């Protein structure tokens, strides 16, 4: 960890079982899981909002949903190609340069992360297809965090 810089973790759950996910968060000392999905439900058992919150609570990890930091389903569906994803993520990054609710939410998340070890979570493990990468990079560069991507790949 870099001196004097708080650490912000990110994690995508798609490659993990609930048990593996919990273990990884515990091993890094995560105290707060910030779910940045616009719609915090999952077809993968154990990763919908309520189940996830219950599972993590048993380990002393607080769960919080941050839907303003997500990308709406309709926008994701329109980004079916590689170029579409790249455009979607570029647009998301630009949205963090505007004065809007997303910026306010990102700043609020960073303030929470200053007092507790925090991981930003979304579904996608591949960082090149996930908005948590530009979000975490924005928080890192603007708010002074070291960003660590847990179990991530860039395919």
**H runs (alpha helix) in 11-131:** 18-27, 49-57, 73-77, 82-95, 101-115
What local confidence, expressed as pLDDT, does residue 120 receive?
Answer: 98
111 by Cβ neighbours in 10 Å (0-12 / 13-18 / 19+) ranks as exposed
Label the pairing between strands 32-35 and 7-12. unpaired
What DSSP designation does 68 have? G
Instruction: Return the SS3 of 148.
Output: strand
Angle made by CA atoms 67, 20, 63, in degrees to the nearest 5: 30
pLDDT tens, position by position, 83-108: 888 899 999 999 999 878 999 999 99
- CATH node for 7-150: 3.90.190
The model carries a pTM of 0.92
Which whole number is the average pLDDT over 72-80? 82
Domain edges within the chain: 7-150
Rounded-to-integer distance, Cα 106 and Cα 110, Å? 6
pLDDT tens, position by position, 26-63: 999 999 999 999 999 999 999 999 999 999 999 999 99
């Amino acid at each position: 960890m870099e001196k004097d810089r708080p650490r912000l973790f990110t994690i995508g759950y798609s490659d993990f079982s609930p048990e593996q996910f919990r273990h990884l968060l515990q091993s890094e000392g995560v105290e707060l899981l910030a779910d940045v999905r616009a719609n915090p439900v999952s077809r993968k058992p154990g990763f919908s909002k309520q189940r996830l919150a219950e599972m993590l609570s048993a380990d002393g990890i607080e769960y919080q949903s941050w839907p303003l930091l997500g990308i709406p389903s309709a926008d994701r569906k329109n980004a079916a190609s590689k170029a579409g994803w790249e455009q979607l993520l570029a647009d998301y990054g630009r949205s963090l340069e505007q004065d809007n609710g997303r910026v306010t939410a990102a700043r609020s998340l960073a303030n929470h992360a200053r007092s507790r070890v925090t991981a930003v979570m979304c579904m996608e493990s591949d960082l090149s297809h996930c908005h948590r990468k530009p979000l975490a990079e924005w928080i890192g560069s603007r708010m002074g965090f070291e960003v660590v991507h847990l179990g991530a790949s860039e395919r």
